[in-house]
Amino acid sequence: PTEELRVLLVDDDRLQLEMVAAMCRRAGFSVECCPYPEYAAKLISEGHFDLVVTDIQMPAFDGFRVLAAIREVNPSLPVVAVSARGEMSPEDFAARGFTACLRKPFSYGELTATIRRVCGEKQPLHTSEAPDFGPADPDGIRFDALTAYAGDDAEAARSILASFAEQTAANCTSLEGALASGDWATVRAFAHKMLPIFTMLGAAAVASVLRRAEGAGDPFPEALSADLAAAVAEIRKIVAEAEHRVGAGKVRG
């Protein structure tokens, strides 16, 4: 039998870590999560991994610094970059030393195909098709997009939804504070951080406003600030529904 691939996931966003870890476990990979990017190289020096998947946009210690630190302890370990930004092409990431790149939000199939290609596996350990999402909520939100990749693991699905609710509520508070104080750089950073999840959820109106905010200049136009405030109110409704589902034990469908 093929030996289990060992993957180290590096991301300061715990929700993203949980979601990607659930996808990897479903594919039969062994996973370790590192929410503190500055410690990734130490984990690699102390254990065996077949590859690393690291986020790029991490304020305290970004993915380029993660790669540099890894190269000091292991010059040849494959490292895959994860980024929502469109400014850098796969060729740009390759030129910086990454083995491959993934664009958020990515699918189960994209993740597993990239991992297997990077590790030289032509055939999957076992085939697991991307799930068919159930019907969206009346307001169009697809919570299944967050939880479906946990496969049959109901506890993993519940944990992902609970993390989404907790982290998104905190992000909303930070975003509102930055908006009120005119801290446009922080508003852009949170818009960038939240955009992939709401794109995945199918919240088109919210995602559209976040996308405008991510690319806006200083100061934000008054109309955009008003739209952002309305989007945050809508996001809080989505969080409330997620909290209700977790409390009721209804994390699917």
Domains belonging to the chain, first-starting first, are 6-130 (3.40.50.2300), 150-248 (1.20.120)
Q: How far apart are CA 33 and CA 18, in angstroms?
A: 8
Q: What letter represents residue 44's amino acid?
A: I
Q: How far apart are CA 228 and CA 179, in angstroms?
A: 8
List the chain pLDDT tens, one digit each, 253 residues: 356 899 999 999 999 999 999 999 989 999 999 999 999 999 999 989 999 999 999 988 999 999 999 999 999 999 999 998 677 889 999 999 999 999 988 888 999 999 999 998 644 444 444 444 444 454 678 998 888 878 778 888 899 999 999 999 999 999 999 999 999 999 999 998 899 899 989 999 999 999 999 999 999 999 999 999 999 999 999 999 999 999 988 776 6
Of the candidates 94, 100, 102, 240, the one whose C-alpha atom is nearest the C-alpha of residue 164 is: 240
Please say whether the beta carbons of 12 and 58 come within 8 A: yes
Walk across the sheet containing 79-83 and list its strands. Answer: 30-34, 6-10, 51-55, 79-83, 100-103
The reported pLDDT for the residue numbered 188 is 94
pTM higher than 0.85, yes or no?
Answer: no
Query: Residue with structure tokens 């990454």?
Result: 98
The reported pLDDT for the residue numbered 121 is 65
The reported pLDDT for the residue numbered 209 is 97
